[in-house]
Amino acid sequence: MQFIKNFFEKTEPLVQKGAKYHWLHSTHEGFFTLFFVQKDTSKSGTHIHDFTDLKRTMGIVVLALVPAILFGMYNTGFQHFKAIGELTSTGFFEIFIYGLLKVIPIIAVSYIVGLGIEFVFAQKRGHGIHEGFLVSGILIPLVMPIETPLWMIAVATAFAVIIGKEVFGGTGMNIWNPALVARAFLFFAYPAQMSGESVWVALKDSDKLVDGFSGATPLAQAAAGHINFSIADAFFGFIPGSIGETSTLAILLGAVILIVTGIGSWKIMLSTVAGGLVMGIILNIFAVNPFMELPFWQHLFIGGFAFGAIFMATDPVSAAQTDKGKYIYGFLIGILAILIRVINPAYPEGMMMAILLMNTFAPLIDHYVVNGNIKKRLKRASVS
Protein backbone atom coordinates (compact mmCIF):
# COMPACT_ATOMS: atom_id res chain seq x y z
CA MET A 1 0.00 0.00 0.00
CA GLN A 2 2.92 2.33 0.64
CA PHE A 3 4.00 1.88 -2.98
CA ILE A 4 0.53 2.94 -4.14
CA LYS A 5 0.55 5.95 -1.84
CA ASN A 6 4.02 7.01 -3.03
CA PHE A 7 2.90 6.72 -6.65
CA PHE A 8 -0.12 8.99 -6.17
CA GLU A 9 1.81 11.53 -4.10
CA LYS A 10 4.59 11.63 -6.70
CA THR A 11 2.19 12.15 -9.60
CA GLU A 12 -0.08 14.63 -7.80
CA PRO A 13 1.84 17.76 -8.97
CA LEU A 14 1.35 16.63 -12.58
CA VAL A 15 -2.43 16.94 -12.34
CA GLN A 16 -2.68 20.24 -10.46
CA LYS A 17 -4.12 23.36 -12.07
CA GLY A 18 -1.74 24.62 -14.75
CA ALA A 19 0.20 21.35 -14.94
CA LYS A 20 0.53 19.24 -18.08
CA TYR A 21 -2.12 16.71 -17.09
CA HIS A 22 -4.42 19.03 -15.11
CA TRP A 23 -7.41 17.63 -16.97
CA LEU A 24 -6.87 14.32 -15.14
CA HIS A 25 -7.08 15.87 -11.69
CA SER A 26 -10.53 14.43 -10.82
CA THR A 27 -9.55 10.97 -12.07
CA HIS A 28 -6.30 11.02 -10.11
CA GLU A 29 -8.07 12.16 -6.94
CA GLY A 30 -10.80 9.58 -7.41
CA PHE A 31 -8.38 6.65 -7.53
CA PHE A 32 -6.26 8.10 -4.71
CA THR A 33 -9.22 8.46 -2.34
CA LEU A 34 -10.40 4.98 -3.27
CA PHE A 35 -7.39 3.60 -1.39
CA PHE A 36 -6.72 6.33 1.18
CA VAL A 37 -8.77 8.76 3.27
CA GLN A 38 -8.53 12.35 2.09
CA LYS A 39 -6.21 14.58 4.11
CA ASP A 40 -8.27 17.68 3.38
CA THR A 41 -10.54 19.30 5.96
CA SER A 42 -13.35 21.78 5.53
CA LYS A 43 -12.06 25.27 4.73
CA SER A 44 -15.02 27.44 5.76
CA GLY A 45 -17.85 27.66 8.22
CA THR A 46 -18.58 25.42 11.19
CA HIS A 47 -18.65 21.69 10.51
CA ILE A 48 -18.94 18.53 12.56
CA HIS A 49 -15.93 16.40 11.73
CA ASP A 50 -16.64 12.70 11.86
CA PHE A 51 -14.69 9.63 10.79
CA THR A 52 -17.76 8.30 8.97
CA ASP A 53 -17.29 10.02 5.65
CA LEU A 54 -19.07 9.16 2.40
CA LYS A 55 -16.51 6.53 1.47
CA ARG A 56 -16.87 4.69 4.78
CA THR A 57 -20.65 4.96 4.60
CA MET A 58 -20.73 3.45 1.13
CA GLY A 59 -18.27 0.76 2.24
CA ILE A 60 -20.55 -0.30 5.09
CA VAL A 61 -23.54 -0.55 2.75
CA VAL A 62 -21.53 -2.72 0.36
CA LEU A 63 -20.49 -4.90 3.32
CA ALA A 64 -24.15 -5.24 4.31
CA LEU A 65 -24.92 -6.39 0.76
CA VAL A 66 -22.31 -9.17 0.79
CA PRO A 67 -24.65 -11.88 2.22
CA ALA A 68 -27.24 -11.14 -0.48
CA ILE A 69 -24.56 -11.09 -3.20
CA LEU A 70 -23.03 -14.41 -2.16
CA PHE A 71 -26.39 -16.13 -1.79
CA GLY A 72 -27.53 -14.66 -5.10
CA MET A 73 -24.56 -16.31 -6.77
CA TYR A 74 -25.32 -19.64 -5.16
CA ASN A 75 -29.03 -19.46 -5.93
CA THR A 76 -28.28 -18.72 -9.58
CA GLY A 77 -26.43 -22.02 -9.84
CA PHE A 78 -29.01 -23.75 -7.66
CA GLN A 79 -31.90 -22.76 -9.94
CA HIS A 80 -29.95 -23.69 -13.05
CA PHE A 81 -29.03 -27.21 -11.96
CA LYS A 82 -32.51 -27.71 -10.53
CA ALA A 83 -33.98 -26.77 -13.91
CA ILE A 84 -31.89 -29.32 -15.79
CA GLY A 85 -32.42 -32.05 -13.18
CA GLU A 86 -28.79 -32.26 -12.00
CA LEU A 87 -29.10 -30.61 -8.61
CA THR A 88 -28.64 -33.75 -6.51
CA SER A 89 -25.53 -34.79 -8.43
CA THR A 90 -23.85 -31.39 -8.29
CA GLY A 91 -21.63 -30.23 -5.43
CA PHE A 92 -21.84 -26.96 -3.50
CA PHE A 93 -18.78 -25.39 -5.07
CA GLU A 94 -19.79 -26.30 -8.61
CA ILE A 95 -23.19 -24.69 -8.00
CA PHE A 96 -21.59 -21.57 -6.53
CA ILE A 97 -18.93 -21.23 -9.23
CA TYR A 98 -21.59 -21.46 -11.94
CA GLY A 99 -23.53 -18.63 -10.30
CA LEU A 100 -20.35 -16.64 -9.71
CA LEU A 101 -19.47 -16.77 -13.41
CA LYS A 102 -22.98 -15.62 -14.31
CA VAL A 103 -23.16 -12.74 -11.82
CA ILE A 104 -19.63 -11.28 -12.04
CA PRO A 105 -19.99 -10.06 -15.67
CA ILE A 106 -23.21 -8.20 -14.74
CA ILE A 107 -21.48 -6.49 -11.82
CA ALA A 108 -18.45 -5.69 -13.99
CA VAL A 109 -20.57 -4.07 -16.71
CA SER A 110 -22.47 -2.02 -14.14
CA TYR A 111 -19.29 -0.64 -12.58
CA ILE A 112 -17.41 -0.09 -15.84
CA VAL A 113 -20.25 1.85 -17.46
CA GLY A 114 -21.37 3.70 -14.33
CA LEU A 115 -17.93 4.70 -13.07
CA GLY A 116 -16.86 5.60 -16.60
CA ILE A 117 -19.72 8.09 -16.83
CA GLU A 118 -19.01 9.37 -13.31
CA PHE A 119 -15.37 10.03 -14.25
CA VAL A 120 -16.38 11.89 -17.41
CA PHE A 121 -18.83 14.14 -15.53
CA ALA A 122 -16.28 14.78 -12.78
CA GLN A 123 -13.66 15.83 -15.33
CA LYS A 124 -16.09 18.09 -17.18
CA ARG A 125 -17.28 19.78 -13.99
CA GLY A 126 -13.84 19.94 -12.42
CA HIS A 127 -14.84 18.40 -9.11
CA GLY A 128 -13.86 15.29 -7.23
CA ILE A 129 -15.36 11.89 -7.93
CA HIS A 130 -17.98 10.92 -5.38
CA GLU A 131 -18.20 7.41 -3.97
CA GLY A 132 -21.97 7.17 -4.32
CA PHE A 133 -21.80 4.80 -7.27
CA LEU A 134 -19.93 2.23 -5.18
CA VAL A 135 -23.34 1.24 -3.82
CA SER A 136 -25.45 1.94 -6.91
CA GLY A 137 -23.03 -0.12 -8.99
CA ILE A 138 -23.77 -3.22 -6.94
CA LEU A 139 -27.46 -2.53 -6.34
CA ILE A 140 -28.22 -2.36 -10.06
CA PRO A 141 -27.10 -5.97 -10.75
CA LEU A 142 -28.83 -7.25 -7.61
CA VAL A 143 -32.27 -6.05 -8.74
CA MET A 144 -31.91 -7.57 -12.22
CA PRO A 145 -32.99 -11.02 -13.46
CA ILE A 146 -29.95 -13.22 -14.03
CA GLU A 147 -30.44 -13.59 -17.79
CA THR A 148 -30.70 -9.86 -18.49
CA PRO A 149 -28.41 -9.26 -21.51
CA LEU A 150 -25.22 -7.37 -20.66
CA TRP A 151 -25.98 -4.68 -23.25
CA MET A 152 -29.26 -3.99 -21.45
CA ILE A 153 -27.40 -3.72 -18.14
CA ALA A 154 -25.05 -1.20 -19.77
CA VAL A 155 -27.89 0.88 -21.26
CA ALA A 156 -29.89 0.85 -18.01
CA THR A 157 -26.83 1.82 -15.95
CA ALA A 158 -26.04 4.70 -18.28
CA PHE A 159 -29.65 5.89 -18.09
CA ALA A 160 -29.67 5.67 -14.29
CA VAL A 161 -26.41 7.58 -13.86
CA ILE A 162 -27.11 10.30 -16.43
CA ILE A 163 -30.88 10.81 -16.12
CA GLY A 164 -31.37 9.54 -12.59
CA LYS A 165 -28.44 11.30 -10.95
CA GLU A 166 -26.06 13.52 -12.94
CA VAL A 167 -28.75 15.78 -14.42
CA PHE A 168 -29.71 16.66 -10.82
CA GLY A 169 -26.13 17.51 -9.87
CA GLY A 170 -24.59 14.17 -8.96
CA THR A 171 -24.31 12.26 -5.68
CA GLY A 172 -26.50 13.69 -2.95
CA MET A 173 -28.73 15.61 -5.36
CA ASN A 174 -30.78 12.87 -7.02
CA ILE A 175 -34.47 12.60 -6.17
CA TRP A 176 -34.85 8.92 -7.11
CA ASN A 177 -32.88 5.83 -6.19
CA PRO A 178 -30.55 5.29 -9.21
CA ALA A 179 -30.72 1.49 -9.03
CA LEU A 180 -34.51 1.55 -9.19
CA VAL A 181 -34.36 4.05 -12.04
CA ALA A 182 -32.29 1.48 -13.96
CA ARG A 183 -34.77 -1.31 -13.16
CA ALA A 184 -37.77 0.84 -14.12
CA PHE A 185 -36.10 1.87 -17.37
CA LEU A 186 -35.64 -1.75 -18.44
CA PHE A 187 -39.13 -2.72 -17.35
CA PHE A 188 -40.78 -0.05 -19.48
CA ALA A 189 -38.27 0.10 -22.37
CA TYR A 190 -37.81 -3.65 -22.89
CA PRO A 191 -40.85 -5.40 -21.38
CA ALA A 192 -40.61 -8.42 -23.68
CA GLN A 193 -36.99 -9.10 -22.72
CA MET A 194 -37.74 -8.65 -19.02
CA SER A 195 -40.50 -11.24 -18.82
CA GLY A 196 -40.63 -15.00 -19.10
CA GLU A 197 -39.35 -17.83 -16.95
CA SER A 198 -35.98 -18.03 -18.72
CA VAL A 199 -35.18 -14.48 -17.58
CA TRP A 200 -35.27 -15.42 -13.91
CA VAL A 201 -33.38 -18.72 -14.14
CA ALA A 202 -30.09 -19.33 -15.96
CA LEU A 203 -31.35 -21.66 -18.70
CA LYS A 204 -28.76 -21.68 -21.46
CA ASP A 205 -29.10 -25.47 -21.56
CA SER A 206 -32.84 -25.15 -22.05
CA ASP A 207 -32.94 -28.38 -24.05
CA LYS A 208 -32.10 -30.21 -20.81
CA LEU A 209 -35.08 -28.89 -18.86
CA VAL A 210 -36.81 -31.51 -16.76
CA ASP A 211 -40.48 -32.15 -17.41
CA GLY A 212 -42.82 -29.98 -15.41
CA PHE A 213 -40.15 -27.49 -14.34
CA SER A 214 -41.41 -23.96 -13.70
CA GLY A 215 -39.08 -20.99 -13.42
CA ALA A 216 -41.88 -18.61 -12.55
CA THR A 217 -41.20 -16.37 -9.57
CA PRO A 218 -43.29 -16.81 -6.41
CA LEU A 219 -45.12 -13.57 -7.17
CA ALA A 220 -46.03 -14.78 -10.64
CA GLN A 221 -47.23 -18.05 -9.13
CA ALA A 222 -49.27 -16.26 -6.48
CA ALA A 223 -50.82 -13.97 -9.07
CA ALA A 224 -51.81 -17.01 -11.14
CA GLY A 225 -53.16 -18.83 -8.09
CA HIS A 226 -50.78 -21.79 -8.50
CA ILE A 227 -48.28 -21.63 -5.63
CA ASN A 228 -45.65 -24.39 -5.56
CA PHE A 229 -43.07 -22.91 -3.19
CA SER A 230 -42.68 -23.28 0.56
CA ILE A 231 -42.30 -20.38 2.94
CA ALA A 232 -39.01 -21.89 4.12
CA ASP A 233 -37.66 -21.79 0.56
CA ALA A 234 -38.87 -18.21 0.20
CA PHE A 235 -37.27 -17.15 3.50
CA PHE A 236 -33.91 -18.80 2.81
CA GLY A 237 -34.02 -17.81 -0.86
CA PHE A 238 -34.19 -21.03 -2.88
CA ILE A 239 -36.64 -19.53 -5.37
CA PRO A 240 -36.41 -17.83 -8.78
CA GLY A 241 -36.07 -14.05 -8.69
CA SER A 242 -33.72 -11.14 -9.13
CA ILE A 243 -30.12 -11.89 -8.14
CA GLY A 244 -30.07 -10.27 -4.71
CA GLU A 245 -33.74 -10.27 -3.75
CA THR A 246 -34.57 -13.92 -3.08
CA SER A 247 -33.06 -14.58 0.38
CA THR A 248 -34.86 -12.76 3.18
CA LEU A 249 -32.36 -14.24 5.64
CA ALA A 250 -29.37 -12.76 3.80
CA ILE A 251 -31.16 -9.42 3.53
CA LEU A 252 -31.89 -9.42 7.28
CA LEU A 253 -28.20 -10.01 8.00
CA GLY A 254 -27.50 -6.90 5.97
CA ALA A 255 -30.20 -5.02 7.89
CA VAL A 256 -28.47 -5.82 11.18
CA ILE A 257 -25.22 -4.33 9.87
CA LEU A 258 -26.97 -1.17 8.66
CA ILE A 259 -28.87 -0.66 11.91
CA VAL A 260 -25.93 -1.38 14.25
CA THR A 261 -23.68 1.02 12.35
CA GLY A 262 -26.41 3.65 12.15
CA ILE A 263 -26.19 3.82 8.36
CA GLY A 264 -29.69 2.53 7.61
CA SER A 265 -32.84 3.99 9.16
CA TRP A 266 -34.66 1.41 11.26
CA LYS A 267 -37.64 3.78 11.31
CA ILE A 268 -38.09 3.42 7.55
CA MET A 269 -37.51 -0.34 7.66
CA LEU A 270 -40.01 -0.89 10.47
CA SER A 271 -42.69 1.39 9.04
CA THR A 272 -42.35 -0.18 5.58
CA VAL A 273 -42.93 -3.64 7.04
CA ALA A 274 -45.87 -2.28 9.08
CA GLY A 275 -47.43 -0.74 5.98
CA GLY A 276 -47.05 -3.99 4.06
CA LEU A 277 -48.66 -6.01 6.84
CA VAL A 278 -51.57 -3.59 7.18
CA MET A 279 -52.33 -3.68 3.46
CA GLY A 280 -51.94 -7.46 3.43
CA ILE A 281 -54.51 -7.78 6.23
CA ILE A 282 -56.94 -5.46 4.43
CA LEU A 283 -56.64 -7.51 1.24
CA ASN A 284 -57.17 -10.73 3.19
CA ILE A 285 -60.37 -9.33 4.67
CA PHE A 286 -61.80 -8.33 1.27
CA ALA A 287 -60.24 -11.18 -0.74
CA VAL A 288 -61.96 -12.08 -4.01
CA ASN A 289 -59.09 -13.98 -5.68
CA PRO A 290 -56.22 -16.33 -4.65
CA PHE A 291 -53.62 -13.55 -4.65
CA MET A 292 -55.65 -11.47 -2.21
CA GLU A 293 -56.10 -14.59 -0.07
CA LEU A 294 -52.33 -15.05 0.27
CA PRO A 295 -51.60 -14.80 4.04
CA PHE A 296 -50.58 -11.20 4.70
CA TRP A 297 -47.26 -12.07 6.37
CA GLN A 298 -46.08 -14.12 3.38
CA HIS A 299 -45.82 -10.95 1.30
CA LEU A 300 -42.74 -10.02 3.33
CA PHE A 301 -40.79 -13.04 2.07
CA ILE A 302 -41.50 -12.97 -1.66
CA GLY A 303 -40.60 -10.61 -4.45
CA GLY A 304 -38.46 -7.56 -3.76
CA PHE A 305 -40.26 -6.44 -0.59
CA ALA A 306 -37.52 -7.26 1.94
CA PHE A 307 -34.69 -6.04 -0.29
CA GLY A 308 -36.54 -2.83 -1.08
CA ALA A 309 -37.40 -2.13 2.56
CA ILE A 310 -33.81 -2.61 3.74
CA PHE A 311 -31.60 -1.32 0.94
CA MET A 312 -33.75 0.82 -1.37
CA ALA A 313 -36.29 2.67 0.76
CA THR A 314 -33.54 3.66 3.22
CA ASP A 315 -31.44 5.50 0.63
CA PRO A 316 -30.38 8.58 2.66
CA VAL A 317 -30.57 10.87 -0.37
CA SER A 318 -33.98 10.06 -1.83
CA ALA A 319 -35.80 9.11 1.41
CA ALA A 320 -37.57 11.38 3.87
CA GLN A 321 -35.21 13.16 6.30
CA THR A 322 -37.38 14.05 9.31
CA ASP A 323 -38.09 11.46 12.00
CA LYS A 324 -41.87 11.64 11.65
CA GLY A 325 -41.50 11.85 7.88
CA LYS A 326 -39.55 8.58 7.84
CA TYR A 327 -42.43 6.76 9.51
CA ILE A 328 -44.96 8.21 7.06
CA TYR A 329 -42.68 7.60 4.07
CA GLY A 330 -41.97 3.97 4.97
CA PHE A 331 -45.56 3.17 5.89
CA LEU A 332 -46.85 4.46 2.55
CA ILE A 333 -44.20 2.46 0.68
CA GLY A 334 -45.40 -0.72 2.38
CA ILE A 335 -49.05 0.09 1.66
CA LEU A 336 -48.44 0.90 -2.01
CA ALA A 337 -46.06 -2.00 -2.63
CA ILE A 338 -48.60 -4.65 -1.63
CA LEU A 339 -51.51 -2.77 -3.20
CA ILE A 340 -49.80 -2.48 -6.60
CA ARG A 341 -48.52 -6.04 -6.36
CA VAL A 342 -51.94 -7.58 -5.78
CA ILE A 343 -54.41 -5.28 -7.52
CA ASN A 344 -52.52 -4.85 -10.81
CA PRO A 345 -52.63 -8.26 -12.56
CA ALA A 346 -50.21 -7.13 -15.29
CA TYR A 347 -47.46 -6.23 -12.83
CA PRO A 348 -47.17 -8.66 -9.89
CA GLU A 349 -44.50 -6.64 -8.08
CA GLY A 350 -44.99 -3.23 -6.56
CA MET A 351 -41.91 -2.44 -4.48
CA MET A 352 -40.03 -0.68 -7.27
CA MET A 353 -42.96 1.55 -8.22
CA ALA A 354 -43.87 2.26 -4.59
CA ILE A 355 -40.36 3.43 -3.66
CA LEU A 356 -39.95 5.58 -6.77
CA LEU A 357 -43.34 7.16 -6.14
CA MET A 358 -42.53 7.92 -2.51
CA ASN A 359 -39.05 9.20 -3.49
CA THR A 360 -40.95 11.82 -5.46
CA PHE A 361 -43.12 12.82 -2.51
CA ALA A 362 -40.47 12.54 0.23
CA PRO A 363 -39.61 16.29 0.12
CA LEU A 364 -43.32 17.13 0.38
CA ILE A 365 -43.70 14.87 3.41
CA ASP A 366 -40.74 16.56 5.11
CA HIS A 367 -42.14 19.98 4.20
CA TYR A 368 -45.44 19.34 5.98
CA VAL A 369 -43.72 17.70 8.96
CA VAL A 370 -41.44 20.71 9.42
CA ASN A 371 -44.32 23.17 8.97
CA GLY A 372 -46.39 21.20 11.46
CA ASN A 373 -43.59 21.42 14.04
CA ILE A 374 -43.23 25.16 13.45
CA LYS A 375 -46.95 25.72 14.01
CA LYS A 376 -46.88 23.69 17.23
CA ARG A 377 -43.94 25.68 18.58
CA LEU A 378 -45.57 28.99 17.64
CA LYS A 379 -48.76 27.91 19.37
CA ARG A 380 -46.89 26.96 22.55
CA ALA A 381 -44.96 30.24 22.42
CA SER A 382 -48.15 32.30 22.08
CA VAL A 383 -49.80 30.46 24.98
CA SER A 384 -46.84 31.00 27.29
CB 75 within 8 A of CB 102: no
Question: Does 50 score more than 60 pLDDT?
Answer: no
Q: Could you tell me which of 168, 104, 170, 184 has the C-alpha nearest to residue 132? A: 170
With 0-12 / 13-18 / 19 or more C-beta atoms within 10 angstroms meaning exposed / middle / buried, residue 107 is middle
pLDDT value for 272: 97
Q: What is the average pLDDT across 87-110?
A: 93
pLDDT digits (tens, 9 = 90+) for 241-286: 899 999 999 999 999 999 999 999 999 999 999 999 999 999 999 9
> What pTM was computed for the model?
0.85
pLDDT digits (tens, 9 = 90+) for 171-184: 677 889 999 999 99
Within 8 A by CB and 6+ apart from 383, the residues are: none
Question: Does 326 score more than 70 pLDDT?
Answer: yes
- pLDDT band of 56, cuts 50, 70, 90: confident
Helix (H) or strand (E) holding 221: helix 218-224
Return the higher-pLDDT residue of 189 and 205: 189
CB 91 within 8 A of CB 134: no
Question: Does 68 score more than 90 pLDDT?
Answer: yes
Q: Could you tell me which of 343, 345, 241, 355 has the C-alpha nearest to residue 302? A: 241
Q: What is the average pLDDT across 278-302?
A: 92
For the chain, the structural domain boundaries read 2-35, 54-372
CB 172 within 8 A of CB 58: no
- pLDDT band of 64, cuts 50, 70, 90: very high
Within 8 A by CB and 6+ apart from 327, the residues are: 267, 271
Q: What is the 3-state secondary structure (H, E, C) of 31-84?
A: HHHHHCCCCCCCCCCCCCCCCCCHHHHHHHHHHHHHHHHHHHHHHHHHHHHHHC
CB 95 within 8 A of CB 78: yes
